[in-house]
Amino acid sequence: MKWLRFASLASTMLLCASVGAAAAGKPASLVAVDNLVFVSGAVGSGGDALAQVDEVIRKTGDALAARGLDFGDMLQHTIYIKDGVSPMAVLQRFHATATQVAPSLKEFKSVGTIVRLPEFPDKASLVMLDIVAGAPKAKGQRDEFRRIPFTYGPQEIAETLEVKPFVFTAGTEAMDFQHGTLAPTIEEQVDAIVGKLQSGLQKAGLSVGDMIAHNLYVKKGTDPGKVIQLFHAATHKLAPQLEDQPSVGTLVIVDGMASDGFLLEMDAIAVPRSTAVKRVLYEHPTDIARSVAVGDLILLSGMEAMDGARPIPADAAAQAAIAARKIHDTLRQSGLDIGHMVKYRIYVKKGADVSKVRRSFLDTAARLAPSLKRKPAAETLAIVEGLADERLQVEV
């Protein structure tokens, strides 16, 4: 499986370069493309988990302030917590602090999910927050972005959120909130998740067939290959057009989500069928695309060290370099290069040297596109239990 990346077209590069400038080797605090703002992940550094929730909200708010925005402009959030920290306690604190800092979030909710990780690069870290924010055409007019609440489900977040032409979904799992039940098997959970995804998108006037990007978070101990097979079988059953018009996507193995019973959680981005979309497909057709271009954004599948018939190197830093080259080569098929990257996530398998992986990725990217030293992208880095293939240690 691959991953989700945002890269701007050349027409927006000046805007991207003018926001969140950073020294060479350091990520930008945020980068804006049109009315979307991509923020680097904010990581907690001290105190207990609840104190770190407050810390990452403050750090994210400070980054947004540089763009004339505030925390109430958050559209989509992913909360990463260290396994062993209570997800429900973190969620309660997150929404309490968020609505205290930005009361507008009580009305203008974001979509979001929460994922449990084995650790963070800094052993003191317990919480990380990764968001996408929105800049309304008129400052403070957050009703420009349409939100649809859950009928049954968490009331603190929206089920879908539209930033034309994009529709972001909240994290979708198999819980039947109406009846308080959860199917035990992965087969049943995948069917339930895809059904809920279809229902949520239909409320927004779309369907599963309009999906252009997806992330699959698989609980440790669940077979990722089986999840991939089941997910695409279920989505293609509802939307056969996905076979010829696939979305980009990724899969990472994590310690869990909000509940121990969740074996899989996913979120997605969709656009109306009338939207002009350009895809770059793999040479050998797969269930995902290499990239999907919509207006001034290109979304990429995650790139790793699977490179045709070539062997996968055991060294994680070497895998990161291959990932950078694959991003570069994919973007060149759309007339761009890795220098146009505005936001990336690095997933590193537990046990690999995170600093060497990151340095290898950034050094390779900078050699391919020296402009990244002057115009860095926003970054989020997460340590995970694994990736779709047990040989993989890095996916970007």
DSSP one-letter string for 57-124: HHHHHHHHHTTT--GGGEEEEEEEEEBTB-HHHHHHHHHHHHHHH-GGGGTSPPEEEEEEES--SSTT
pTM: 0.93
Per-residue pLDDT of the chain (396 residues), as tens digits, is: 333 333 333 333 322 222 333 334 689 999 999 999 999 999 999 999 999 999 999 999 999 998 899 999 999 999 999 999 999 999 999 999 999 999 999 999 999 999 999 999 999 999 999 999 999 988 878 999 999 999 999 999 999 999 999 999 999 999 999 999 999 999 999 999 999 999 999 999 999 999 999 999 999 999 999 999 999 999 999 999 999 999 999 999 999 999 999 999 999 999 999 999 999 999 887 899 999 999 989 999 999 999 778 899 999 999 999 999 999 999 999 999 999 999 999 999 999 999 999 999 999 999 999 999 999 999 999 999 999 999 999 999
DSSP3 helix / strand / coil % (the chain, rounded to 5) = 35, 30, 40
How far is 365 from 361, CA to CA, in rounded Å?
Answer: 6
Query: What per-residue confidence (pLDDT) applies to 11?
Result: 33
Report the pLDDT value the prediction gives residue 308, as an integer from 0 to 100: 78
Residues 6+ apart with CB under 8 A from 325: 364, 368
Residue 178 pLDDT: 95
| CB 41, CB 379: distance < 8 Å | yes
User: 3-class DSSP state for residue 256?
Assistant: strand
What pLDDT score does 4 carry?
36
> Whats the size of the chain, residue-wise?
396
Radius of gyration over every alpha carbon of the chain, rounded to an integer in angstroms: 19
pLDDT, residue 12, reads 32
Q: Is the peptide bond before 285 cis (omega within 30 degrees of 0)?
A: no
Whole-Å CA distances, 381 to 28, 57, 117: 13, 17, 11
Output the pLDDT for position 306: 92
Torsion of CA 103, 108, 109, 110, to 10 degrees: -110
Query: What's the confidence (pLDDT) of residue 25?
Result: 66
Tokens representing 241? Answer: 């057009």
End-to-end CA distance of the chain: 11
Q: From the CB of residue 223, how many other CB atoms can be counted at a distance below 10 Å?
A: 13
